[in-house]
Structure 1
Amino acid sequence: MSKMYTRREVLKLGGTAIAASVMLPEISWGRETGIVNHPGAVSGDPDGVRAGMKVLAEGGNAIDAVVAAALVTCVTANNKCGLAGYGGHMTIAFGGSNKVTCIDYNSAAPAAARADMFQINETGKVKDNLNSTGWLAAGVPGTLAGIQLALERYGTRSLSKLAAPAIELARNGFPVSASMARAIRGTAPALRRFPGSAGLFLKNGEPLKEGEIFRNPDLAKVLETLAESNSADAFYDGELARKIADAFQKNGGLVTTRDLAEYRAREVEPLSLKWGNLTIHTAPLTAGGLTIVQILNILQEMGWKKLRSEPERTHAFLEALRLSWRDRLALLGDPEQVEVPIKHLLSRDYAHELANQVRKTVKDKKPLSIHTPEVIDDGTMNLSAVDSAGNMVAMTLTQGGAFGSKVTIEGLGLVLGHGMWRFDPKPGHPNSVAPGKRPLHNMCPSIVTRKGKPVLAVGGAGGRTIPNSILGFLTNYVALEKSMDEAIAAPRLHNEGNMSVEIENSWPKAEVDYLALLGYKITVGPQAYVSAVSFNPKTGECRGVAR
């Protein structure tokens, strides 16, 4: 089978023509799994997966496939992500080398943003929810800039070609999914407030129902404009950018043409942690990867894998998680603008200190005294892809909550994400609002390598449950040496440092009872949706799973 090369590898070969073609077997679908085959795999949203698999079938690499999948998903799952969604991160690994890299396309606050721009009411919440709903909730969208940067540096196909499936779906329509229908019902009162959103998602004033055909011809025109120039530049600097900025100005928003023109996605170095013969690479701040690495450091330092009692192992896992969430919510922010003690948080000395606290509290059979605030949100998508050369991508992108700001720009069909909600609305916090600042978010697309070669890519969707669900997957796969199928099936839990623990029904009763006896408030609740792909360097088999 021909090797697939990234664009940069092609240039290094001095212009040698490279041709790659694959023959895909018939695609089979399961409710909880992705696709299993040798030439390549994509995992995530079903509509996006189909588009990505078609790209692989036509010889594109994993980066091409995930871009096509993302563009389609931004059309068909626009409650979770969108072309004007606030952004995210992706982690990329290359089968032909030991390189792993990240693309940061997180939203940025507009230049006019200020730390005290949102008034706090007597309950401690933002007055009128202006940081989550409406034009002030939207910062500079980063999704398209991230797609373009990844494609320019590592793709082999044109944006024009990869956008074609998304354009067709936006123009001709598709049946509303059950997930999208639920999101429309749940947000209908807010959607009604904005004419662009009401016109798209409501019919005769009522929410669109599952199975009804949804069309967004204005969005199709936006995509066509980008495809014609084979670039996303018009979104940030051109006639399209002017229309976007004019809509913000007309409706009291802050984003300007200058904010759009000055926005840049950027390539950044991932955080890495070695465990045995495997290495985890994950997205750095302002993404959620630091929290995952910090927890894994604690577990590794305390010899977590060697704990014989399953209830004690779960208790130790939970306490390590709580300590790291305490630090996350108090200390983390955009390292380009505030001082974040990254080296200290990831140091062996600090891991040793926290590991001792976990050992003691597990031995004493009692929880650590930690209290943190609770916030709920949902509106994210993850896509993972692998090709026959072992190139891998985990790409997470988001609106924020369902339909983000709930605002749709009339005439463009662009649903705006609410990146400003990801800031702490109170001045003086490392994650407080500031001009040009990028908010702390929960996405943590990750890749696992063995002896430098990528073997697995994984990411999640589900707001603040993402880091913990990815952590659970990785501890099973890396620390406990379980298969990808076993890791995806393992029960998940969520906690943010407090005494409330949400679990899946499948958690063993003995462990649940043990945590309850320690004083934890246990409830059954939803966890992040995790999608992963794997690559076997010996056989070339590519697999995808999701749950």
Structure 2
Amino acid sequence: MDMTDIRSPNLARGRLTGKRMARGEGGIVVSQNREAARIGAEVLKEGGNAVDAIVAASFAVGVLEPWMSGVGGVGAMLVREEGGAVTAIDAGARSPAGLDPADFPIVGGSDGDLFGWPSVLEDRNVTGARSIGVPGLVAGLGAAHARFGRMSWAELVLPAAGIAEAGPVVDFHTTLWIASEMRRILRDEACSGWFLPEGVPPITPAAVTGRVNRLPNAALAQTLARIAREGPGILYGGELAEALAGDVQAAGGYLGTADLAAFEVAAGPAATQAYRRHLVHYVPGLNGGPTLAHMLRACQERHAPQGETPGAADVLAYCEAMQDAWAHRFETMGDGARESLPSCTTHLSAVDRDGMAVSLTQTLLSLFGSGVVSPRTGILLNNGINWFDPRPGRPNSIAPGRKALSNYAPAIMTGPDDDVIAIGGSGGRKILPAVFQALAQVADFSHALDEAVAAPRLDTSAPPLVVADARFPADILDAVRARHATVLCERMEHPNHFTTLGAVRRRGAMNEGFAEPFHPWADAVSEDDTKPLAG
């Protein structure tokens, strides 16, 4: 079959960036934003455990890159205790009880967002107040902290409030993301007031001016300060919940105080899939975890790796296992049309010096979520209704009071010699192939953590098309092209053709952390390397 080459002519070929792997006996936090990772590592240095670090980094990253995640979003977490037990904490999106499916009539065509659903009138399932699901992330973080946390809740949340008050610094990356979604941002006055303060995307002044641009959010700072002082429950009952629900309903949405009060976090033992000599632990239910497990099962049943590095037969086996899993997902879980576009998600991983490991993925779903900011709380809200199929009578059709089928897939893999890896990524459906391939290469070829994260990948999330990393050797690309319609792409941060991975690892008493090498902000920070950043 033909291979389409859509690589940029301006990029160097085959070059891997020189991002370092953090390593040592101290705890490590990995995030898509280095400052968030540093805040989490500082918590470890002050005596907190991995859950404490993740809570602090989660709140911080929701302010530092608010277009990806935040307190208006949802998420899922895995916690491996020092003794080996793995707990899954699911704070995924639910549709409001008052939602009316008749308000989402299909008008034909494709919506052009993440899943290529048939277009709905006014894009109500994608943008605006009707697209908002119940934001469960804060409840999930609260449940994790109540069960595993060591430091006080307020200590972990207050750094994010300070960031919101001062405003994160604008750099080229900030400008890029805001400019890419300017049309959606302009639809909501409070959203445009935050991200387009002068009516256009903010830019970074030249260094010689001695200035920086920031994006403060006073209302969000006050909200975070209240959550810090009064606990996570304040977002789900009382004045803050009334303000949030009132703002959404004033904008035409369904979210009510009863929806917030009724939200429940699902917490219990993680599901487990055996792979080679390892166990992969994942969040059960309506997320990417069961599909990841299917990929692992299919690969193990059909293929035995040969050699010390992946060859053409191995890569083809990975490809076919992923395609088998996608077919099963689309038929039985209702994850819709075969299209995969940029998404809005953040992953964080942490390990502490005692061996506790955490994997958390949090999201607003689409970039900037619903594009709606609650004026009184400063919260940018998710568009969780976009996870539902707008076509009636499907396994995942839009309905009131229903759990959404999401794509995130935090995972923890345990293996011989007390080997533990906590991994996950951002990138919508592209998360699943990336996590699968990284874990398979560790289990099949004993790859180091940085090798597994940085290795060339295939993406199969838009079947039957296969997207191939241009860094694969020619013989592997030829083998893939011979069987599949293939597009050749660069590994880059934007557009993200694959995903943004981050992972930590513990073997014996030694910890490691590595972040996606092609993401300009992503980094792994050890508690032994936590000097505050200048500016």
Contact between 2:422 and 2:504, CA under 8 Å: does it hold in 1? yes
Rounded to whole Å, the distance in 1 between the matches of 2:304 and 2:201 is 49
Aligned to 2:503: 532
Measure how far apart 1:42 and its partner are.
Answer: 0.6
Aligned to 1:169: 163
What is the SS of the residue equivalent to 1:207? coil
Aligned to 2:348: 383
Q: Are 2:121 and 1:127 aligned?
A: yes
- The correspondence of residues 5-84 of structure 1 with structure 2, limited to 5 A, is 32-33=19-20, 35-44=22-31, 45-84=33-72
Contact between 1:159 and 1:227, CA under 8 Å: does it hold in 2? yes
Measure how far apart 1:177 and its partner are.
Answer: 3.8
Aligned to 1:457: 422
| Amino acid across the alignment from 1:113 | L
Q: Which has the higher contact order (CA 8 A, sep 6+)?
A: 2
Measure how far apart 1:397 and its partner are.
Answer: 0.1
* Unaligned residue ranges in structure 2 (runs of 5+): 1-16, 110-117, 205-211, 491-496, 517-535
Q: 1:531 to 1:306 in 2, by over 3 A?
A: same
* Percent of residue pairs identical: 31
Rounded to whole Å, the distance in 1 between the matches of 2:155 and 2:484 is 56
Measure how far apart 1:310 and its partner are.
Answer: 2.2
Aligned to 2:533: none
More displaced stretch, 464-473 vs 118-127: 118-127
More displaced stretch, 253-262 vs 201-210: 201-210
- The correspondence of residues 59-458 of structure 1 with structure 2, limited to 5 A, is 59-85=47-73, 87-95=74-82, 97-123=83-109, 124-210=118-204, 212-229=213-230, 231-306=231-306, 310-332=311-333, 373-450=338-415, 453=418, 455-458=420-423
More displaced stretch, 234-243 vs 304-313: 304-313
Contact between 1:283 and 1:289, CA under 8 Å: does it hold in 2? yes
Rounded to whole Å, the distance in 1 between the matches of 2:21 and 2:345 is 18
Measure how far apart 1:453 and its partner are.
Answer: 4.8
Aligned to 2:524: none
Measure how far apart 1:497 and its partner are.
Answer: 5.8
What is the SS of the residue equivalent to 1:147? helix
Aligned to 2:10: none
Aligned to 1:545: 514
Measure how far apart 1:261 and its partner are.
Answer: 0.4
Rounded to whole Å, the distance in 1 between the matches of 2:134 and 2:246 is 14
- The correspondence of residues 499-510 of structure 1 with structure 2, limited to 5 A, is 499-510=464-475
Contact between 1:176 and 1:208, CA under 8 Å: does it hold in 2? yes
What is the SS of the residue equivalent to 1:312? helix
Contact between 1:333 and 1:439, CA under 8 Å: does it hold in 2? no
| Amino acid across the alignment from 1:132 | V
| Amino acid across the alignment from 2:244 | I
Measure how far apart 1:209 and its partner are.
Answer: 2.0
Rounded to whole Å, the distance in 1 between the matches of 2:489 and 2:121 is 31
CA distances 1:324-344 after superposition (whole Å, capped 9, x unpaired): 10111221169xxxxxxxxxx
Measure how far apart 1:316 and its partner are.
Answer: 2.2
Q: TM-score, normalised by structure 2?
A: 0.85
Measure how far apart 1:309 and its partner are.
Answer: 8.6
* Unaligned residue ranges in structure 1 (runs of 5+): 1-29, 335-370
Rounded to whole Å, the distance in 1 between the matches of 2:20 and 2:365 is 25
What is the SS of the residue equivalent to 2:119? coil
Measure how far apart 1:513 and its partner are.
Answer: 2.0
CA distances 1:232-282 after superposition (whole Å, capped 9, x unpaired): 111100100000111122111001010010001120332212234321111
Measure how far apart 1:402 and its partner are.
Answer: 1.0
Contact between 2:388 and 2:396, CA under 8 Å: does it hold in 1? yes
Aligned to 1:483: 448
Rounded to whole Å, the distance in 1 between the matches of 2:357 and 2:100 is 39
Contact between 1:114 and 1:434, CA under 8 Å: does it hold in 2? yes
Rounded to whole Å, the distance in 2 between the matches of 1:531 and 1:132 is 28
Rounded to whole Å, the distance in 2 between the matches of 1:33 and 1:418 is 35
Rounded to whole Å, the distance in 1 between the matches of 2:278 and 2:383 is 36
What is the SS of the residue equivalent to 1:121? strand
| Amino acid across the alignment from 1:491 | P
What is the SS of the residue equivalent to 1:544? strand
| Amino acid across the alignment from 2:68 | K
Rounded to whole Å, the distance in 2 between the matches of 1:494 and 1:208 is 33
Aligned to 1:8: none
Q: 1:424 to 1:36 in 2, by over 3 A?
A: same
Q: 1:134 to 1:544 in 2, by over 3 A?
A: same
Q: 1:518 to 1:436 in 2, by over 3 A?
A: same
CA distances 1:185-225 after superposition (whole Å, capped 9, x unpaired): 01111111111001100032111224521111111100111
| Amino acid across the alignment from 2:505 | S
Measure how far apart 1:519 and its partner are.
Answer: 4.3
CA distances 1:377-411 after superposition (whole Å, capped 9, x unpaired): 31100000000110000000001111111111113
Q: 1:274 to 1:185 in 2, by over 3 A?
A: same
| Amino acid across the alignment from 1:432 | S
| Amino acid across the alignment from 1:131 | N
Q: 1:219 to 1:497 in 2, by over 3 A?
A: closer
CA distances 1:140-176 after superposition (whole Å, capped 9, x unpaired): 0011011100000011112111112111111112212
Contact between 2:303 and 2:317, CA under 8 Å: does it hold in 1? no
Q: Are 2:472 and 1:472 aligned?
A: no
Measure how far apart 1:433 and its partner are.
Answer: 1.9
Contact between 1:135 and 1:253, CA under 8 Å: does it hold in 2? yes
Rounded to whole Å, the distance in 2 between the matches of 1:201 and 1:31 is 32
Measure how far apart 1:287 and its partner are.
Answer: 1.6
| Amino acid across the alignment from 2:217 | N
CA distances 1:17-58 after superposition (whole Å, capped 9, x unpaired): xxxxxxxxxxxxx96345322111011121210100000000
Q: TM-score, normalised by structure 1?
A: 0.84
Rounded to whole Å, the distance in 2 between the matches of 1:437 and 1:178 is 39
Query: How many aligned residue pairs are there?
Result: 477
Measure how far apart 1:304 and its partner are.
Answer: 3.4
Computed over aligned residues only, the root mean square deviation of the Cα atoms, in angstroms, reads 2.0
CA distances 1:345-404 after superposition (whole Å, capped 9, x unpaired): xxxxxxxxxxxxxxxxxxxxxxxxxx9621323110000000011000000000111111
